[in-house]
Amino acid sequence: MKQIKIFDTTLRDGSQGAGISFSVEDKMKIATALDSFGVSYIECGWPGSNPKDEEFFKLAKNKFKNSKLVAFGSTRRKNIQANQDTSLNKIVASGVKAACIFGKSWDLHVEYALKTTKEENLKMIYDTVSFLKSKKLEVIYDAEHFFDGYINNPQYAIETLKSAVNAGADIICLCETNGGILPLDLQKIITKTKQEVPNILFGIHTHNDSGCAVANSIIAVESGCELVQGTINGIGERCGNANLCSIIPALQLKKNYQCIPNKNLKKLTELSRYIDEIANMVPTDSLPYVGKNAFSHKAGVHVSAIGKNSKTYEHLDPQSVGNTRQILVSDLSGKSNIMSKADELSLDLENKPEKVQSIIKAVKEKENNGYQYENADGSFFILTKKVEAKYDSFFTLKGYRVSVEKNADGSIISEATVKLDIKGKEEHTVSEGDGPVNALDNCLRKALIKFYPEIKNVLLTDFKVRVINSNASTAAKVRVLIESKDKKFIWGTIGVSENIIDACWQALSDSVEYTLLKNNKSRGTKR
């Protein structure tokens, strides 16, 4: 099994993505997770470029045991000595053992970006690598815009690589910086380059502007590159960097390369979602391997086949990357979907064909009215209990009122009043909130908590609203999907109404009902 070095640049190149900003604490958390995951290199930032990176390098020194920390920088400035370049001296002073230095391979950039001669650029590359090697650093040379440079002037692009090699670079990383090249064209250039620049370890760095970053990275490895640069979830400038969450399992599970320790591959989905959480990004459900929908099945034919042999509609075992299979229930559902979902939710529908058909009918009717149970397991569970006539609610709504008041100073106050019947007793509560939904949620919890203290552990983690029939303008129905969690589970609930507050109430009350059903097996279900 051939070893491939994984070079993670989430903290540096990934942080250049729109809307992403990592604090020093964020960077430490991410670096710790990456070290535990087992990547070879963690590129942490550019020493001296900003106070945040300087502080990080001080805090991170000698903290990690599996990954090598890398400082990023550029070749020396033109017309000075390398030992006089402030940025290079900052890299040396950072205490890292490895540096990643980018230089120009495209003569267009030499002329217009650096505004210098091709000869001076070659000296800048040589002097920079030589200086850092004299300081006992491992040097990875990033040949920026290499593929565009090769297409425009192959001879000069090769000369830039040789300048870095002659200066002692340990690895030459070919950078597809603009993200526009296609896989077979990239493969041809790598093959020719390896012939012209032998006896050096090559790496690959790609961007996703043409949607080919992962494919280009994989084909680069197949063409002889032994280091892959990328980011978790593919975050990065413009359309992003190569997504390591796709590259690592593809290489390790499908092509028999060793990228990380085998035992750590099951941490991949957890790592993906952890990075999204720190970056304050909503996870992309459709991401390959790690996305929520990566192993989701909706069509009845698919679900039926999956139940017999998972290979029929899954390219690998979801557990191999720490993900899970998800059976979706919708108006397309058949018996297989309902039975699989029932098994997942511990619902006993075995040998109950009439009940299954009744549930299918109820789902179809509900979805015809705008409901959607694909991400609302909690509401689906309650629906099945109601269809089975086995459901006895923990509380009954007698009425609610929500008001929103805006004052002259611009402040907004939301207040909710709720009347419930709980165990034969009427509870009448009033509560304020940041908005009408928050006020309603606070009010509901306030009424219930002395009867059902376990709801204090339930948190509302996501709230989505979608207009269903937009042609009805302001009278359109809205669908509200709420995601909740406690110490053990995450579940979704749904509400649909022409009134957004009422849709919110449905989803909120279902969330609490589902919590109580899970925690009070002897209540809420008629025997």
Sequence ranges of the domains in the chain: 2-260, 395-451
What pLDDT, on the 0 to 100 scale, is given for residue 522?
39
pLDDT of residue 164: 98
The amino acid sitting at 417 is T
Place of tokens 């017309």: 79
Quick one: pLDDT at residue 196? 97
Q: Which helix (DSSP H) or strand (DSSP E) does residue 463 occupy?
A: strand 459-467
> Which structure tokens are listed for 418?
């709720």
Which of 285, 279, 245 is CA-nearest to residue 8?
Answer: 245
How far is 265 from 259, CA to CA, in rounded Å? 9
State how far the alpha carbon of 75 is from the alpha carbons of 1, 49, 72, 414, in Å. 35, 14, 10, 57
Give the three-state DSSP class for 510: helix
**Cβ atoms within 10 Å, residue 527:** 5
For 185-239, write each residue's pLDDT tens digit: 999 999 999 999 999 999 999 999 999 999 999 999 999 999 999 999 999 999 9
Token digits of residue 172 = 């030459």
Q: For residues 180 and 145, what is the distance between their CA atoms, to the nearest angstrom? A: 11
The amino acid that residue 182 corresponds to is L
The residues that bridge with 41 in the sheet, in sequence order, are 7, 68
CATH of 2-260, one of 3.40.50.2300, 3.90.420.10, 3.10.20.30, 3.20.20.70: 3.20.20.70
- pLDDT number for residue 368: 78
Alpha-carbon distance of 240 to 242, in angstroms, equals 7
Characterise 80 by phi-psi region: left (phi > 0), alpha (psi -120 to 50), beta (else): beta
The set of residues, in sequence order, having a beta carbon less than 8 Å from that of 143 and lying 6+ positions away, is 102, 103, 105, 149, 157, 160, 161, 164, 172, 173, 174, 175
Fold category of 395-451 in CATH: Double Stranded RNA Binding Domain (3.30.160)
Residue 198, helix vs strand vs coil: coil
User: How many Cβ atoms are within 10 Å of 79's Cβ, its own excluded?
Assistant: 9
Which segments of 284-351 are extended strands (E)? 296-297, 326-327
What's the pLDDT score for residue 523?
42
Q: Which residue has the tokens 């190149």?
A: 13
Element spanning 167, H or E: none
Residue 525 has a pLDDT of 38
pLDDT of residue 344: 62
d(CA 180, CA 210): 5
Identical fold for domains 2-260 and 395-451, yes or no, is no
Taking the alpha carbons at both ends of the chain, their separation in whole angstroms is 58
* CA 101 to chain CA centroid, nearest Å: 28
> CA–CA separation, 290 vs 112, rounded Å?
41
Backbone angles phi, psi at 297, to 5 degrees: -135, 130
pLDDT score of 89: 96
Residue 258's SS3 state is strand
Counting as low any pLDDT under 50, the low residues of the chain are 521-527
* Nearest to 230, CA basis, from 40, 26, 71: 40
